Amino acid sequence: MAEKRKDKRGRILKTGESQRSDLTYQFRYKTRPKGKWNYIYAQTLDELRQKESTVQKSLDAGVDYTAGRITVIELLERYISLKQGVRYNTKVGYQFVLNLVKQEDFGYRCIKDIKVSDAQLWFIKLHKDGRGYSTITSVRGVVKPAFQMAYNEDVICKNPFEFKITDVVPNDSVKRAAMTEEEQSTWMGFIRADKTYSKYYDEFVVLLETGMRVSEFCGLTINDLDFEKKRIRVDHQLVRERRGRYYVEKTKTESGCRYIPMTDDVYHSLKRILANRPSVRVEMMIDGYTGFLLLDKNSKPKVALHIENEMRWAMKKYRKLYPNSPLPHITPHVFRHTFCTNMASAGLDIKKLQYIMGHSDVGVTMNVYTHMNYEQAAEQMARVVEFRKAEKTKKLG
């Protein structure tokens, strides 16, 4: 057994305590596993232990936070722990950012020492390491409010993440573009004719001609379909966690609760989906909902991943058959984006389009116009001009 350390008077010293060459006493400690050593000093051992007691009380009371002596990781953990009742996908996003920061030396730095230039240099490093603009945006979406919390509580004097990402990192993300009429015709024609993927044609029609979020589509039950009034009720969405647990949650925003009109194509596609829906001996009940419209091969409700995979596999086959085709990468959200663009191009009132899309802010809906090309804009402008001419002729006549 190792001999216990003692001071010059023969008194046993505790872990972290030591007597210096000038006979004064020292205690060293860490506030975190990978943190720097902190030191306190005293003339006598009794005085040192009084200071040790104060330090321990401070640590137990969380004074390290109020003094700004915690790490970036610890700040994020504190911030995330306060986010109760958030959606599953939001939790996944928080955990992704936390895991990323834990891999960075920046994560082990003391928050009170972080300057704006430090934060900017870190983002530059992430970009050089191959992290995309969207990933860095996600990181900032968690780190910035965490530091803002510390600033609001007077823990730090400035939020070091109060700067535009584009000031230090180029926005090299690929903007999601809506499909043109020709691309829609090409893709849907391929799906309809293909022996393997034609069974998904009606699902794709509903998504493309309603603009529903894919998780809203998966959440539809038979009772949500009103064929008499030709409308679809959307007031929830279906989610499945990575561990396999299903649950129903509210739509992405309160504005997400809405009715969507059925076009003739959607009407007939939904009828066919119902006619081809496998008979189930016992319908699965999820948070009070049952009779889900879309079922997988195991008679369980489909989730977003199922439809994403359907499109991915179909696209893989299409690329193999037509390697020189300019058709863009297609996802359920591209369908939603395309629907919004189609309706805007056709002149649907922006507030009505906002309702159909389930957007909480009309600004989100208006962003669709950035994806209209010259031909679409010219065509819509021509319709407006012709309409005004017709109205003027009526008045003169």
Over the stretch 224-278, which tens digit does the pLDDT of each residue have?
A: 999 999 999 999 999 998 788 998 988 877 767 899 999 999 999 999 999 999 9
* Residue 297: active-site member: no
* Residue 394: active-site member: no
Task: Give the distance from CA 230 to its chain's centroid.
Answer: 33
Q: What is the DSSP letter of 245?
A: -
Catalytic residue among 233, 333, 355, 371: 333
State how far the alpha carbon of 306 is from the alpha carbons of 182, 191, 295, 309, 317, in Å. 26, 16, 10, 5, 17
**What pLDDT score does 242 carry?**
78
CATH topology of domain 181-375: hpI Integrase; Chain A (1.10.443)
Residue-level pLDDT, tens digit, the chain, 397 residues: 567 789 999 999 998 999 999 999 999 987 666 667 888 899 999 999 998 887 777 666 556 777 778 899 999 999 998 888 788 888 889 999 999 999 999 999 999 999 999 999 999 999 999 999 989 999 999 999 999 999 998 889 999 999 999 999 998 766 667 898 999 999 999 999 999 999 999 999 999 999 999 999 999 999 999 999 999 999 999 999 878 899 898 887 776 789 999 999 999 999 999 999 998 889 999 999 999 999 999 999 999 999 999 999 999 999 999 999 989 889 999 999 898 888 887 777 888 888 888 887 766 667 655 455 556 666 666 766 676 777 767 767 6
* Residue 252: active-site member: yes
Burial class (CB in 10 A: 0-12, 13-18, 19+), 114: buried
* Residue 359: active-site member: yes
* Residue 250: active-site member: no
CATH of domain 72-167: 1.10.150.130
Contact yes or no for 273/293 (Cβ under 8 A): yes
Catalytic residue among 51, 78, 109, 252: 252
* Residue 213: active-site member: yes
Catalytic residue among 140, 213, 258, 306: 213
